[in-house]
Amino acid sequence: MYEGKRTVSIWSDLGFQESPYATRPVPPTEEGESLFVGRDGVAKRLANRLTSSDLHPTIEGENGVGKTSLVSVVGYRLRREFEQKSTSQAIIPLDEIFQLTVGDSAATLERKALLAVANSMIKHHDLLKRGGHDVPDVVDLQKWINAPLIKGGGAGASVAGFGGSASRSVSVNTGAGFNEAGLRDTVFGWLRQCFPSSQSGAFVGVIDNLELLETSKEARALLESMRDGILSSPGLKWVLCGARGIVRTSASSPRLEGRLAEPLELSPIEDAEISQVIARRLELYQIIDSAVAPVDPESFKLIYDVLNKNLRNALKYSEDFSFWLHDGGYASADPVANRQHFERWIRGQAARNAEETNLSGNRAWEVFDSLTGIGGSCSPGDYETFGFNSAQAMVPHIKSLEDVNLIQSTASDSDRRRKTILVTPRGWLVRYARSDYSIPE
Ligand SMILES: Nc1ncnc2c1ncn2[C@@H]1O[C@H](COP(=O)(O)OP(=O)(O)OP(=O)(O)O)[C@@H](O)[C@H]1O
Ligand SMILES: [Mg+2]
C-alpha cells in the first residue's frame, strides 16, 4: 500500500494546482479574464479600433511585455459582448494565432487563414445565426474543408477509384476551376454574406511576432503582398503585433497606409499593478490553504525590476527559483524565509553571471553601462549617444558585448531607426551585480 498520494508535480507539492509563473499568454477565457491585470486604456483603444474602424490595428511592444495577452483578452471580451447580446456587432476571434518567419509566403498564410475562417464559421454557426447573420450551412462548410485541394494543400488532387476499371482515376474536386483564387473568392463571399457591413462584425485574426521576419524590409514586402488578399477582405480584421519597431517601420509603407492603423504602443505593466499579476495567479491556483508561494507578489517586484520590467523573463526566473527551492528542500512555511532565499538567490545568479563575463576593454563596458542607463535598447543610428563618430565605430564594441551574451542584436536593418540592439536578461543580472545589487533610477 502507498503511504499517502504520490505527488504529481512540484507545484502540487507546494500547494498549487499548476505553476503560478508559467510564461504562456493569458488565454481568451473567463480564467484569462480574471488573471489579466491593468491595461484599461490600451484595451479600450484596441477594442474601439476593432469595433469602429476598417483599418487593421497594430501593436508595438517589447518581447514578453504582454501583446498576445492583450489581444487575447480584448477579443474574448468583444466576443462575449455579442454572445450576451449586449451588441449586435459580432466580433469573433479566430482560434489560431498566425506567425510569419523568413521565407514564408503570403499564399501560405492566406490558405491557413481561409481555413481558420471556415472553421470559425462552423464553430460559431449557431451563435451567428441567432444574431441574425447569414452564415453558410455547416455541411457545406465541412465539405469545403474536407475537399482534398484544401486538405492536401495542393492543386490537382485526385484519388484512385475503386470498383469498375481499376485503372480509372476519379478526380475529387468541389467544382471546376477551384484554384487558389477560387478558395479566396469562396471564403470572401461567405464573409461578405455574413458581415455585409463593418457594423455587423468581423472575425479577428492575429499575425503575431512580426519581428521574426528580422528586417522591416522583409516584413513590409510580405505585408504589401497581402494587401489585396487577406488584408482587404470584408468581415476579416487582423491585429499585427511586433517588437523593436518592426510594426512601425514596416507599416509606414505608402502601399499599406490606409490599411493599417497607427501602432498602439504597449509599455510594461505599471509598478503599482505588477504584484497583482502574481497575487491573482496564486489565488487561482492555490489548492491547499496553508500553501506558501516560493515567490510572493512582493518578491516578484524585485525580479521584475532587476530584469528591467520584462514580465516574461521575470516569470521565467521565478519558476527557475521555485525549482531550486523545491529541489534543495528549502521551501518554507514562513513567507519571510522564502523571500530571503529569493533575494540571496538573485544575488547569487547576478554575481555568478558577472564573474563569468570575460569582457576585455573598458570601452565596451562603458557602452554597456550607457545602454542600460538609457533603458536597454538602441538602434545603430544612436552612435552619438555613446560618444562615437559613426555607427561603424560602435560596431566592434557591440560585437564584443554580444559575444559575451550581455546584449543581443538582430540582423542589420536598412531602417537605422529600428531598435535592434538590446540588453539580454543575463545582461540585466550583470548590471544588477555591477550596481552593487541596487536598481539605479
Ligand atoms: N495584463 C496582464 N496581466 C497578467 N499577466 C499578463 C498580462 N500581460 C501579460 N501577462 C503575462 O506575461 C507573459 C508575457 O505575455 P505575452 O505572451 O502576452 O507577451 P508578448 O508581448 O506577446 O510576448 P512576445 O513578444 O514574446 O510574444 C505571459 O506569461 C502572460 O501570461
Ligand atoms: Mg506574443
The per-residue pLDDT for range 254-271, each reduced to its tens digit, is 888 889 999 999 999 999
Mean pLDDT, all residues of the chain = 88
What amino acid is encoded at 76 in this protein?
Answer: Y
Q: What integer is the mean pLDDT of 121-125?
A: 94
Q: Are 295 and 318 in contact (CB under 8 A)?
A: yes
Residue 174 pLDDT greater than 60, yes or no: no
Give the Å distance between the CA of 255 and the centre of ligand 2: 26
Query: Considering the entire predicted model, what is its pTM?
Result: 0.90
What cell was used for 382? 544612436
Give the Å distance between the CA of 67 and the centre of ligand 1: 6
Q: Which ligand is nearest to the CA of 266?
A: 1
Q: Indicate which residue's Cα is closest to atom 30 of ligand 1.
A: 25
Q: Are 56 and 231 in contact (CB under 8 A)?
A: yes
* Atom number in ligand 1 closest to CA 38: 1
Give the Å distance between the CA of 241 and the centre of ligand 2: 8
Give the Å distance between the CA of 242 and the centre of ligand 2: 8
What cell was used for 124? 460559431
pLDDT at residue 139 in the model: 87
30 φ/ψ angles, rounded to the nearest 5 degrees:
-60, -40
Q: What percent of the chain has pLDDT over 70?
A: 90
- pLDDT band at residue 279, thresholds of 50, 70 and 90? very high
Question: Beta-strand (E) ranges in 376-435?
Answer: 377-378, 407-409, 421-423
pLDDT at residue 85 in the model: 85
3-state SS class at 330:
coil
pLDDT at residue 246 in the model: 87
Residue 309 pLDDT greater than 90, yes or no: yes
Q: Indicate which residue's Cα is closest to atom 10 of ligand 1.
A: 66
Neighbours of 3 (CB within 10 A): 5
Distance from the first to the final alpha carbon of the chain: 59
Give the Å distance between the CA of 68 and the centre of ligand 2: 4
Mean pLDDT lowest for which of 4-8, 38-42, 60-64, 135-139?
A: 4-8
Q: Which ligand is nearest to the CA of 28?
A: 1
What amino acid is encoded at 39 in this protein?
Answer: R
Mean pLDDT lowest for which of 76-85, 169-178, 200-209?
A: 169-178
Residue 163 pLDDT greater than 70, yes or no: no
Q: Give me the residues paired with residue 158 across strands.
A: 171
**Binding-site residues, ligand 1, Cβ < 6 A:** 23-26, 35-39, 61, 63-69, 209, 243, 269, 277, 311-312, 315
- pLDDT band at residue 46, thresholds of 50, 70 and 90? very high
* Site to substitute for ligand 1 among 246, 264, 312, most atoms within 8 A of C-beta: 312
Burial (0-12, 13-18, 19+ Cβ within 10 Å), 86: exposed
Residue 119 pLDDT greater than 60, yes or no: yes
Q: Are 222 and 180 in contact (CB under 8 A)?
A: no
Residue 169 pLDDT greater than 60, yes or no: no
Neighbours of 156 (CB within 10 A): 10
* Atom number in ligand 1 closest to CA 73: 1
Give the Å distance between the CA of 424 and the centre of ligand 2: 17
Q: Could you read off the pLDDT of 312-327 as tens digits, one per residue?
A: 999 999 999 999 999 9
pLDDT at residue 179 in the model: 63
Q: What integer is the mean pLDDT of 21-37?
A: 97
Torsion of CA 158, 162, 167, 170, to 10 degrees: -30
Question: Beta-strand (E) ranges in 31-78?
Answer: 58-60
Residue 171 pLDDT greater than 90, yes or no: no
Closest by alpha carbon to 206, among 62, 104, 95?
95
Closest by alpha carbon to 26, among 94, 65, 72?
72
3-state SS class at 383:
helix
What cell was used for 368? 554597456
* Site to substitute for ligand 1 among 70, 284, 311, most atoms within 8 A of C-beta: 311
Residue 261 has what DSSP assignment?
P
3-state SS class at 54:
coil
Between CA 367 and CA 376 the distance in angstroms is 11
Return the sign of the alpha-carbon dihedral for residues 189, 194, 196, 198: negative
Between CA 305 and CA 438 the distance in angstroms is 10
